[in-house]
Amino acid sequence: MNKQAKLLTFPIICIFPIMVLSGCGGGSAGQEVDTVQPLNKLSDTVQPLKTLPDNVEQLKKLPGTLIIVGDSIMAGCKDSIDQPHADYSMTSAHLVASQGVHVVNLSRSGNNMWLADSQRVDGGINFTQGGKRGTAIWITLGVNDFLWEISSLEEFRDRYLKVLSRIETIPAQKIFCATPLMSGHDYQHRTSTEGATLEDYRQIVRDIAAAGHCALVDTSQWFSATEIYDECNMPDTLHLGEDGHRRYTNMLLEEIRDNY
């Protein structure tokens, strides 16, 4: 089967069945490891977002525009696990927008670096960046490249660099390369046919950032094993739930807060 056929066979990563729960934190999703103990009340550890920053100076340190290039995790798949219909009002993109930032979310289910390159996501970035208070570009891809073996490690690196090279440099711009989140696939020790792990794809992102192509955001410590196996954070140990989006957003805001 050629690569294009494989892409058509597995178009998205958001294919896991939605679990119907009586309430967030009512059990564990996915295959739990022995060392993981579920939190009794995760909301105690996740601070709610404020509607807007405390003062004008804090607001000024946030970019005027945030462009997100991600997959179904950032697109909002599974963000509302115990509602009959998807509710995207609690995704990270919406939560950042509540802080007074204009958010352009170029994320979609199944997105990967092959698609970002071949379908020229840089065109969308170049078209929407700019404006008051600067632009932050948040790239977080790699899960689908690994899961469906769409990009080998070498291909992932080459395509990532190609996309970055086509983003036009403008004043008051900062590009962030975020590593894929830790997930159940790490604790299940999943590997590709070339023997690569999801951690190997994270290392590619680290290497690209270390070479000066972007600012590194290493997310490997953002969620512990316990938090990954709690439905409030990751209902399927991969996609973010409501508490997961809040936690991710708090971390993201700290990373992009700068003098633009």
Tell me the per-residue pLDDT of 115-167, one tens digit each, with 9 for 90 and over. 999 999 999 999 999 999 999 999 999 999 999 999 999 999 999 999 999 99
For residue 245, pLDDT over 50 is answered with yes
Lowest mean pLDDT among 33-47, 68-82, 102-116: 33-47
For residue 57, pLDDT over 80 is answered with no
Which domain does 99 fall in, by range?
52-256
- Look at residue 50 in the predicted model and tell me its pLDDT: 56
- Look at residue 36 in the predicted model and tell me its pLDDT: 37
Is 245 inside any structural domain?
yes
Whether the CB-CB separation of 164 and 53 falls below 8 Å is answered with: no
55 burial via Cβ count (<10 Å: 0-12, 13-18, 19+) = exposed
- Look at residue 34 in the predicted model and tell me its pLDDT: 37
- Look at residue 71 in the predicted model and tell me its pLDDT: 96
Name the maximum alpha-carbon separation found in the chain. 56
Whether the CB-CB separation of 46 and 222 falls below 8 Å is answered with: no
Is 247 inside any structural domain?
yes
Cα distances (Å, whole numbers) of residue 126 to 111, 131, 135, 163, 192: 19, 12, 11, 11, 33
Residues 99-122 as b/e (b if ≥16 CB within 10 A, e otherwise) read: bebbbbbbbbbbbbbbbbbeeebb
Is 37 inside any structural domain?
no
Is 22 inside any structural domain?
no
For residue 196, pLDDT over 90 is answered with yes
- Identity of residue 252: L
Q: How confident is the model at residue 68 (pLDDT cuts 50, 70, 90)?
A: very high
Is 34 inside any structural domain?
no
Lowest mean pLDDT among 74-88, 91-105, 226-240, 243-257: 74-88
Whether the CB-CB separation of 62 and 133 falls below 8 Å is answered with: yes
pTM of the model: 0.81
Percent of the chain scoring above 90 in pLDDT:
68
- Look at residue 41 in the predicted model and tell me its pLDDT: 35
Cα distances (Å, whole numbers) of residue 151 to 5, 137, 142, 249: 14, 22, 9, 28
- Look at residue 165 in the predicted model and tell me its pLDDT: 99
For residue 37, pLDDT over 80 is answered with no
CATH of the domain at 93: 3.40.50.1110
The total number of structural domains that make up the chain: 1
Is 16 inside any structural domain?
no
Mean pLDDT of the chain: 82
For residue 44, pLDDT over 50 is answered with no
Is 17 inside any structural domain?
no
Is 105 inside any structural domain?
yes
